[in-house]
Amino acid sequence: MVTLFQRFFTLLCFLFKYKWALLGVIVAPMLIALAIGKIYQGWDDDPDRGAIPISDGAFGESYSKPIYLDQGWDESDSLWYYNTTQGSGLVPYDFFIVLEEETSEALLRSNKNMDKYRYLPQKPTFFNPDGLPVGFVKDTYQGKDYVGYTCAACHTGQINYKGQAMRIDGGPSMADMVGFLTALEKSMSITLKDDDKRQRFVENVIALDNDFDSENEVVTELEQWTKTIRLYNTVNHSKVDYGYARLDAFGRIYNRVLQHIINKDQFANILASVVSPTGNRVVSDEEISRVLEGINASTLGDKEFATVLERLESKEPGYPGLNQRDMLRVRNQFFNEANAPVSYPFLWDIAQSNYVQWNGLANNASVGPLGRNTGEVIGVFGILDWSSHEPDDFSLSAMITDQKRKSEIIDFKSSINLVNLQRLESHLKSLQSPVWPEDILGKIDRTKADKGRLIYQQYCQSCHEVVDRDNADRIVVAKMSELEFIGTDVAMAENSATYTGKSGNFQHTTQAVEGVGTLFIEEDAPVVQILTSATKGVIATPDPDKWWIRRWLDRIYTIAMALFENKMPDTIKNGNYKPDTTAGPYNSVVAYKARSLNGIWATAPYLHNGSVPTLYDLLLPKKRADDPDDGVYRPDEFSVGRREFDPVKVGFVSDDNKGFIFRATRRGDMNSGHEYGAGRTPQMDGTQLPALTEEQRWELIEYIKTL
């Protein structure tokens, strides 16, 4: 038998003998493909960037055709960012195109309806022929078309002022993703139940003449995808309402990974441990066997999990027939509550930052951005066709995830488009922060701003260094503050480090933790460990939609670009935080990162969880029990959802009770901490500065407008 070494040696000899010919055969097509891709990237150059005016939209808002501020991007740059696929598969594309709202015949995707959920409507353009909202795209996987998200859906903002709209590329969205996904589930469910809706839906899908040929096929697929969306919404339901402009992205990414990595034995053990308040088991051993009959032994995906949940609720003989309360008990044993919503962060300077995410979880050196973006697509409906098989001669993903000692390994086949993720990260390097538009929002008082500059240097600059948006060599250094020091809501940072789950095939594999050493992943493991291994596996798995030579060339290109184009050095974090140790290997993420403040005027609401509506309010103290009632404090209740801008306090109008009512009353929603302007939070060096006067607050705000 020819050994693997002999085959490898023979291949090396062949490559050496014909190296120049092979180099030409491989490199020339790659260069041609890259050149064509670059030209194609600029084909959509609609002068309006697809933006349209809205009349009588949500909350009675009307605005003219949005204009764009100078952020270093032209028309084609914006449109490529909006419409470049990442590998997201929310539902079949044809379904989304014709699906009606729950209570009418209007399309769910209509401009008016998408505006209600604060997604940004667009007209048809070259890359977006069906006129989907910003960040919604057609994505193709395994020969079928899906509608999917791109990062633009959550990271493109808009500000309105007296009827004039301004689009902010890379800015935080006002989107209510939870509301939209709930509406999607309801629309799909009623379409299955209502004869007239179902008939119109089937006829319209078939008329598109794409992926579906018969009524039975359409209905069967609609049933399955309805279960999948229902599963996602059920798993991620939280007692903390997100409202507009917030999402617990990490909580949802964590739950998707846990859902797809758990194996059948672990699933059975969890079901056996679920008990009622009286101490009785909710599911018997016989019922567990029936529920898991025919389910893959090593991984459970969307379809398998949805099937299991359906069986758990089934009233047929041999099944548990669980009620809603027992189903919640089951869910809570498998997943962690996604109860830490945060504002969508802005994306300018992300490629120039050494650590990103609100708690500095992601190292931006080397292939770090590729792993971060892979995790993002896992969270926004990347199709994860993970399955197990016996080890073959060589598996890069098994080697990187330390599965090489396993009798079975997980194949991380997915729809995630690594090439486009790398290209998007590179594209963001040229995105700049927006400059305050004085012709629209009013002139900056330069005398006040000059005084505010001195206040900024004293109160803010030790954490928020001033960044020159025009400096191509700029670096934004993450300054970390531990929770007790900064005093802001703890939910996101604590959850990121403390949430655990079943590790599936990763059990007893190893993982290096920076600054600590190599650890074993145990059966019950921190989800951050499981996510790290999963993203490594996806990155190391070739794209299944491409011919094998193209597949390997794309892999080489993606990894090479991630390693060599990324100039960010690998550094430790700066600031006041607890370092990682063997006893607490994830201490450093139980902290929050100070962002650069250039363009901060366009990113309300403020604090990481969006609990403060304006910059002026951010400089006020949080009212405590012993504070006098006649003082000036941050609002504990305000409305979120309108895009009308307040250029005085700097934020969105939030005092008219239109939209979602935010209440800063519980974990996840707290508006305390970061009270430097109120004289309650000490500086990094421990210095306690006095509270700003009213005049100083306005001077500081005026200076921040200039950043």
Over residues 461-498, the pLDDT tens digits come to 999 999 999 999 999 999 999 999 999 999 999 999 99
Q: How far apart are the C-alpha atoms of 393 and 185, rounded to whole Å?
A: 43
CA angle 339, 342, 345 (to 5 degrees): 155
207 and 288 in one domain? Answer: no
- Among 592, 626, 657, the domain-final residue is 592
Provide the mean pLDDT of the chain: 91
User: How far, rounded to the nearest angstrom, does the alpha carbon of residue 353 sit from its chain's CA centroid?
Assistant: 18
pLDDT in tens, 588-606: 999 999 999 999 999 999 9
Highest mean pLDDT (candidates 123-132, 208-217, 322-331):
123-132
Select the more confidently predicted residue: 304 or 166: 166
Which of these three, 268, 300, 334, is where a domain ends? Answer: 334
pLDDT above 60: residue 12: no
Q: Where are the alpha helices (DSSP H) in 383-542?
A: 396-400, 418-427, 438-441, 446-459, 483-486, 491-498, 527-539
pLDDT band at 32 (very low <50, low <70, confident <90, very high): low
If you average pLDDT over residues 675-699, what whole number do you get?
Answer: 95
Let me know: does 184 contact 128? Beta carbons within 8 Å: no
Q: What is the pLDDT of residue 294?
A: 85
Residue 45 has pLDDT above 70, yes or no: yes
Task: Return d(Cα 374, Cα 368) in angstroms, integer.
Answer: 10
Q: Residue 68 domain-assigned? A: yes
DSSP 506: G
In a domain, 344, yes or no: no
- Rounded to 5 degrees, what are φ and ψ at 517? 140, -165
Question: Is the model's pLDDT at 267 over the cut of 60?
Answer: yes
**Are residues 278 and 152 part of one domain?**
no
Tokens found for residue 344: 């969508």
Q: Longest C-alpha distance within the chain, in Å?
A: 87
**H or E element at residue 27:** helix 19-41
How far apart are the C-alpha atoms of 30 and 25, rounded to whole Å? 9
Instruction: Specify if 554 maps to a domain.
Output: yes
User: Residue 174 is part of which domain span?
Assistant: 58-241
pTM to 2 decimals?
0.93
Locate the DSSP E strands across 274-411: 342-343, 355-356, 362-363, 387-389, 409-411
Q: What are phi and psi of 275, to 5 degrees?
A: -125, 155
Asked if 170 and 430 touch (Cβ cutoff 8 Å), the reply is no
Which pair of structure tokens corresponds to residue 626? 């012993």
The number of domains in the chain is 5
Strand order in the sheet with 591-594: 574-576, 479-482, 591-594
Is residue 460 located within the same domain as residue 436? no
pLDDT for the residue 15? 45
Amino acid at 121: P
Rounded CA separation 444/237 (Å): 44
Determine the Cα–Cα distance for residues 555 and 546; give it in Å rounded to an integer: 11
Q: Name the percent of the chain in helix, strand, coil, to the closest 5.
A: 40, 15, 45
Q: How far apart are CA 175 and CA 119, in angstroms?
A: 5
Residues 219 and 95 in one domain: yes
pLDDT tens digit sequence for 511-548: 999 889 999 999 999 999 999 999 999 999 988 888 87
Say whether pLDDT at 13 is over 50. Answer: yes
User: Based on the domain organization, do 479 and 500 belong to the same domain?
Assistant: yes
The alpha carbon torsion through 497, 500, 505, 510 (nearest 10 deg) reads: 40
Q: How is residue 534 written in tokens?
A: 């999963």
- The 10s digit of each residue's pLDDT in 143-161 is 999 999 999 999 999 999 9
Residue that terminates a domain, selected from 188, 222, 241: 241
Does 327 share its domain with 455? no
- What SS3 state is found at 486? helix
Q: How far apart are CA 63 and CA 506, in angstroms?
A: 52
In whole angstroms, how large is the CA radius of gyration of the chain?
Answer: 26
Q: Is the predicted pLDDT of residue 16 greater than 60, yes or no?
A: no
Tokens for 443? 């002139």
Q: Nearest-CA neighbor of 178 among 92, 259, 96, 239?
A: 239
Same-domain check for residues 263 and 318: yes
Say if residue 5's pLDDT is above 50. no
Residue type present at position 113: N
Statement to judge: residues 682 and 539 lie in one domain? no
The per-residue pLDDT for range 226-250, each reduced to its tens digit, is 999 999 999 999 999 999 999 999 9
User: Which residue, chain included where needed, has tokens 């009512």?
Assistant: 661
| Amino acid of residue 14 | F
The mean-pLDDT minimum among 11-25, 164-178, 290-304, 580-594 falls in 11-25
Identify the residue whose tokens are 């353009």.
Answer: 125
**Local confidence band at 224 (pLDDT 50, 70, 90 cut-offs):** very high
Per residue, the 3-state secondary structure of 86-106, as one string, reads: CCECCEEHHHHHHCECCCCCC
Q: Which of 269, 273, 270, 235 is nearest to 252 (CA)?
A: 235
Question: Band of the pLDDT at 10, cuts 50, 70, 90?
Answer: low
Asked whether residue 199 falls in the same domain as residue 213, the answer is: yes
Instruction: Look at residues 183, 156, 157 and name the one whose alpha carbon lies nearest to residue 96.
Output: 183
pLDDT at res. 28: 61
Give the highest mean pLDDT range of 102-111, 295-304, 676-685. Answer: 102-111
Residue-level pLDDT at 77: 97
What pLDDT, on a 0 to 100 scale, did the predictor assign at position 20? 54
Contact, 512 vs 491, CB < 8 A? no
Residues 412 and 483 in one domain: yes
> What are 366-392's pLDDT values in tens digits?
888 999 999 999 999 999 999 888 887
CB 147 within 8 A of CB 137: yes
- Residues of the chain with pLDDT > 90, as a percent, come to 79
Residues 103 and 215 in one domain: yes
Cβ-count burial of 272 within 10 angstroms (0-12 exposed, 13-18 middle, 19+ buried)? Answer: middle
Q: Is the peptide bond before 172 cis (omega within 30 degrees of 0)?
A: no
Query: 21: pLDDT confidence band, cut at 50, 70 and 90?
Result: low
The C-alpha angle with vertex 81 and arms to 78 and 85, in degrees rounded to 5, equals 150
Q: What integer is the mean pLDDT of 305-324?
A: 88
> Do residues 179 and 610 touch, judged by C-beta distance below 8 A?
no
Contact 398, 59 (CB under 8 A): no
Nearest Cα to 440, choosing from 51, 66, 48? 66
What the block records as the tokens of 62 is: 């009307």
- Whole-angstrom CA distances from 619 to 68, 373, 465, 657, 692 are 29, 33, 18, 23, 8
The predicted structure's pLDDT at residue 8: 43
Residue 342 falls within a domain, yes or no? no
User: Do residues 151 and 212 share a domain?
Assistant: yes
Contact 137, 80 (CB under 8 A): no
Asked whether the CA dihedral 221, 224, 230, 232 is positive or negative, the reply is negative
Residue 683 maps to a domain: yes
> Rounded to an integer, what distance in angstroms lies between the CA atom of residue 167 and that of residue 67?
6
Orientation angle between helical segments 215-235 and 249-261, nearest 10 degrees: 120
Which residue has tokens 């962060």?
345
Amino acid letter, residue 605: P
- Rounded Cα distance, 154 and 346, in Å: 9
| Beta-carbon contacts of residue 39 (< 8 Å; ≥ 6 apart) | none
Q: Is residue 335 scored above 80 in pLDDT?
A: yes
**DSSP class of 278:** T
Tell me if 418 is assigned to some domain: yes
Cα–Cα separations (whole angstroms), residue 13 to 7, 8, 17, 19, 52: 10, 9, 6, 10, 60
What is the mean predicted confidence (pLDDT) over 254-264? 92
- pLDDT tens track for 79-98: 999 999 999 999 999 999 99
